[in-house]
Structure 1
């Protein structure tokens, strides 16, 4: 049973298990109306005033009230494709969210060989194809060592990272030559291992969306100023039957990394090292600092399942003897109070 707070309202931190699909801010915005009408986080007088004057049609609190009632934010964005640990801060807890940008994080990701995409994951468009049948588990395992420890890593050209005030993706999309090579950043990979070799026994396929010839030329032009060979061309399997849909090799990696590490770049660069191309098809953040999907250590804290909040949005349920509904109990059970 969660500990019953003696002083209200509270500020604090808790983690949500974000599902694959929605962006991180959608998760935060969907939680906000629940937070804004809970005595766990909002002063009783403010709630009382909201009940009498701030409700809109259907008895719902209007957006301005939900926005102003209490501060809420997240401590490290997960892209729509990714699922897993998303740390949420409420009230004074929002001031602690920067602590989670540079903390140690753990990920589990699936690499699909044979195809490179502009975003380095399955949400993007095909850039080029490359052979994959020659790649073995032993070859990949032997190549992992060069990605462990302190490494220099370049962000994808289709990232939002800015160069001279312009996002990198603007250069790539508009055929603007890069003024200089993309600056590599030092990151630390504490551990990196294959946890499952799927081979061709899986349902993953390459994206159907492809870069057009004009888009490829724009990307080539952007890279031409900083790369000796910026030509983008397919190198498909020599024995591939063009009439069939290929089932390329896939494998699952588990890694523990420092803040700022691009998991997609690890997968992209690893595929190059083994003489292929590759992109991310699943990505789970299993740990962010002390918040984790599977608590093991004494200080570890688990995540509130997303279904708890979606259920509460439809129907909060009946309060218990102390006046708390299910989602509030779930949060109290995992929350770290910030004074």
Structure 2
């Protein structure tokens, strides 16, 4: 089997760890066993011809499992669509790694900024939320849609002088220079109606002195990054620059700080809930932080779901679940997977599982009926044989009695 399919990654695991779990399941299945045996045999023969020696298990490691790769990393915090390539399908993953449109649904909390821009970082600032209004928040749908400059967060895989930014952060080493803003595209941004509600289950993060010390060493802070609005919005306003004209975030008052401290884990900050369609290279954490600054506050991400990547979408039901491979019979999932690898994203996985399951149930019923018919034939034959034996016995008994009489 070769091709592309998509599976839903859960939150709390890296993309690579999740893919390795799936790889192990497929490698241990019967459906891929012949391909693996063939690849292993070819590699052994090739190695023998090249070196004159027998290949060790280490040399055969790559070909002794299903060849697999993914088309774009999801943060451990994030869940959603992860595109997977199998066999020759891994060569098609390049088109997913750059240039593909993605749709995300995200939730965040106003009033706090963190080192990473999400709930896994440490708090670095607290700001007022008392002035937030839905009518003002809805203006973000225009301010951030279009061609947009965006500064990546320090906790990102983006490299500077050959080293990922997040490694500088973990090591506490200052960046060689400031992080340059990147040009991205936000095709659509929809602020959900439940935004600004406090009726949710997310507790607000606590401040950390260590986080501030770390940022001072790194000489970077998401709050200090220049805020940009989209080129289209700025042109509409008649501005000669894409730099946003917004007042600085309002600091948290001492009174509000005491109230938050008093409520403790019961305190609920206003929620930001939105859905966005973006280009590759867009950082949702940075978008959230920028929306917070545009509202003269701060904001950090608590939930992220990749709803869609290219034509693979949770809403289109063409994305597998891990339980499809762990809880279903191999003869069921292998048929559906084969169909998806052949026809692509047009396959509705939910419908196909129902169809295949129904076909197998019908096959089982036919087999049961055949077994019953065979059993009935055997019973009839046995009955006929018994009758024949009884008739023979009866005839013999009559003959014997006749001889005695004579």
Query: Structure 2 length normalisation: TM-score?
Result: 0.66
Match of 1:219 among 208, 215, 219: 215
CA distance, structure 1, for counterparts of residue 36 and residue 322 of structure 2 = 29
CA distance in 2, matches of 1:238, 1:227: 20
CA drift of 1:164 comes to 2.0
- Aligned to 1:207, what secondary structure does the other structure show? coil
Say which structure is richer in strand.
1
Alignment of 1:270 onto 2:267 = no
CA 1:178–1:31 in 2, change beyond 3 Å: closer, same or farther?
A: closer
How far is 1:12 from its partner? 0.6
Secondary structure at 1:244 match in 2: helix
Q: Corresponding residue for 1:201?
A: 199
Which residue is equivalent to 1:304?
320
Is the helix fraction higher in 1 or 2? Answer: 2
TM-align CA RMSD: 3.2
Say whether the 8 Å CA contact 1:33–1:66 is kept in structure 2: no
Query: SS of 2:297's equivalent?
Result: coil
- Counterpart of 2:115 in structure 1 is 118
Counterpart mapping for 1:224-239 below 5 A:
235-239=251-255
Change in Cα spacing, 1:289 to 1:14, as seen in structure 2 (3 Å) is: same
Q: Cα 1:13–1:278, aligned 2, differ >3 Å: closer, same or farther? A: same
Aligned residues of 1:174 and 1:218 also touching (Cα < 8 A): no
Could you tell me whether the CA contact under 8 Å between 1:76 and 1:86 is conserved in 2? yes
Distance 1:252-1:234 versus aligned 2 partners, 3 A rule: closer
Which is higher, the Rg of structure 1 or of structure 2? Answer: 2
Is 1:243 aligned with 2:243?
A: no
Q: Do the aligned partners of 1:124 and 1:207 also contact (CA within 8 Å) in 2?
A: no
* Distance in 2, Cα, partners of 1:91 & 1:173: 35
- Contact (CA 8 Å) 1:81, 1:283: kept in 2 or not? yes
Alignment equivalent of 1:290, drawn from 302, 307, 311: 311
Q: Does 1:332 align with 2:346?
A: no
Q: Size of the alignment, in residue pairs?
A: 299
Kindly indicate whether the alpha-carbon contact (under 8 Å) linking 1:111 and 1:250 is maintained by their aligned counterparts in 2. Answer: yes
Deviation (angstroms), 1:225: 11
Q: Which runs of 5+ in 1 are unaligned?
A: 1-9, 51-61, 296-300, 318-323
Query: Structure 1 residue 279 and structure 2 residue 275: aligned?
Result: no
Question: CA 1:91–1:236 in structure 2 vs 1: closer, same or farther (change >3 Å)?
Answer: same
Cα distance between partner residues in 2 of 1:31 and 1:173: 29
Alignment of 1:51-90 (within 5 A): 68-90=64-86
The answer to whether the 8 A contact 1:32-1:66 is kept is no
Shift in Å, 1:268: 0.8
Match of 2:286, SS?
helix
Q: Deviations over 1:44-78 (max 9, x none)?
A: 6817989xxxxxxxxxxx99658633310111111
The separation in 2 between residues aligned to 1:149 and 1:224, in whole angstroms, is 27
Aligned mates of 2:148, 2:136 — CA distance in 1: 20
Q: Which SS does the other structure have where 2:204 is aligned?
A: coil
- Could you say which structure has the greater relative contact order, defined with CA pairs below 8 angstroms and 6 or more residues apart? 1
Asked if the contact 1:158–1:169 (Cα under 8 Å) also holds between the matched residues in 2, the reply is yes
Q: In structure 2, how many angstroms separate the alpha carbons of the residues matched to 1:243 and 1:308?
A: 46
- The structural deviation recorded for 1:211 is 3.7
TM-superposed CA distance for 1:333, in Å, is 4.2
Shift of 1:336: 4.2
Runs of 4+ in 1 over 6 A off after TM superposition: 47-50, 224-229
Contact 2:36/2:63 (8 A) holds in 1: no
Post-superposition Cα deviations, 1:191-229, rounded to whole Å, max 9, x if no partner, equal 001123241010112235x5434x413312432799989
- TM-score normalized by structure 1? 0.78
